[in-house]
Amino acid sequence: MVVVLLPSLLAAEAGGRRRFELEAPTVGEALRALPVANLVFDERGALRPLVNVYVDGVDARDREGLATALTGGEEIRLVAAIAGG
Amino acid sequence: MGVVVLAGTRKGLFLLESDEARREWELRGPFLTGWMVFHAVVDPRDGVVHAATNNDVYGASVHRSADRGESWTRAEELGLPEDSGLTLEKAWHVEPGRPGEDGRLWLGAAPGVLFRTDDGGETWAPVDGIVRHETRERWYPGAGGMCCHSIALDPDEPERMYVGISAAGVFRSDDGGETFTPANRGTAADFLPDPFPELGQCVHKLLVHPARPERLWQQNHCGVYRSDDRGESWERLEGNGLPSGFGFPLALDHRDPDAAFVVPEESSENRVTPNGRLGVYRTRDGGASWELLTDGLPQPAWGAVMREGFSSDRLDPAGIYLGTQSGSLFVSPDAGETWLEAASQLPPILSVEAAEWS
């Protein structure tokens, strides 16, 4: 079981729910199980470039990205990169 | 009967509500916080609000609300096929289908693409007639991207519709959206080597007149135009009271096919109100002459009105609605004669639509 924490806009799109607990073998699988997966990924299934994913505080890009294996107990935090105006 | 104005902004959607007099307005919102609302519309068939929504981080979507904005549902499926080589950039304009076409709506989007839903907005399918158009390689994006911003349905002919794409031009379908042909004869593209090409024109807004559907009006990068033959040919109309042919918004009087309203800008190079005068130019003779209407609008004002930031209602007399980049929503309850500021200090207004709801 891992925990996924959403930023406020994604939580609003998930019916107000900010915290998800789910079973998934990888970071990518965990994110694809979210009800907001089509906001996190584009239509090709690619992680949108301004969505940052932290696994226990470490940027997933510094590990193995979406393929980063989960053993259970991790906390995955989605953070919108600073952009826009 | 009430009147609602949907003001899509860079920071969500605001609703303004009034009665038929359209002089006192109550503001609600913002809804869809965090989203840029490029366009929002009430589907007159069922009262559902649909919004073309964009976010710098989370991409383009379409939201809908069956309870006047209190709760929203996001489209489940919206994207372009991999073999098209295209990915969705922005959602621009939602157009409800005709009465009797239950569940059908159209979505114009960037990069120059069109979608259709037949389930009320849950799933959107790309329309191959535009996505895979044989001339696509000759289309180029305007400053706002290659946006499909105008979708005009012929109210009498269920097989006929039009789209406007910047900068590809106007396209007409006579087979329900299966295939589209360019409809730009007579419209200029001064920025191209051939100033009157088959396509490539930078149409800024396209509307079909509901009471005379063979008549189309167009505000283009290079002029204001009218067509009386379903887009087969276009007549350029400015130079007779209009200070500039450049502008974005366009509105019609639903009862009077000879009337149209535009808000020109000084030029492509200087996109502000001509001479610092915020005003609406109205024709009542098919574009033969134009008069400036400013009564109640602030002066001077260098405001800019986006292509979707201007609309009319279907009451008598027609209400005209104008939203500015500086966050003011101006209403004229008498077809442009007088204006009042229904809201101010909103975020920059991207789109305005008016509707009736009971």
pLDDT by residue (tens digit) across B241-288? 999 999 999 999 999 999 999 999 999 999 999 999 999 999 999 999
Determine the average pLDDT of the residues in B76-104.
97
ipTM for the whole complex: 0.94
Could you tell me the two tokens for B205? 């807004």
Contact (Cβ atoms closer than 8 angstroms) between residue B351 and residue B149:
no
Going by pLDDT thresholds of 50, 70 and 90, the confidence category of residue A83 is: low
Determine the average pLDDT of the residues in A67-75.
97
H or E stretch at B128: helix B128-131
CB contact under 8 A, B59 and A48: yes
Residues in chain B: 358
Contact (Cβ atoms closer than 8 angstroms) between residue B139 and residue B114:
no
Contact (Cβ atoms closer than 8 angstroms) between residue B218 and residue B225:
yes
Contact (Cβ atoms closer than 8 angstroms) between residue B205 and residue B219:
yes
Instruction: Look at residue B326 and tell me whether its pLDDT is greater than 60.
Output: yes
Going by pLDDT thresholds of 50, 70 and 90, the confidence category of residue A84 is: low
Spatial distance between the Cα atoms of A26 and B59, rounded to a whole number of angstroms: 24
pTM: 0.97
- CB-side neighbour CA atoms (13 Å) of B273: 23
A44 contacts chain B (CB < 8 A): yes
Could you read off the pLDDT of B207-224 as tens digits, one per residue? 999 999 999 999 999 999
How much of chain B exceeds pLDDT 90, in percent?
96
How much of chain A exceeds pLDDT 90, in percent?
94
pLDDT value at residue B238: 79
Contact (Cβ atoms closer than 8 angstroms) between residue B92 and residue B39:
yes
Going by pLDDT thresholds of 50, 70 and 90, the confidence category of residue B12 is: very high
B357 contacts chain A (CB < 8 A): no
Work out the mean pLDDT of chain B and round it to a whole number. Answer: 96
d(CA B78, nearest CA chain A) in Å = 8
pLDDT value at residue B143: 83
Sign of CA dihedral A10, A13, A17, A23: negative
Compare CB distances from A83 to B34, B56, B77 and report the shortest one's residue. Answer: B56
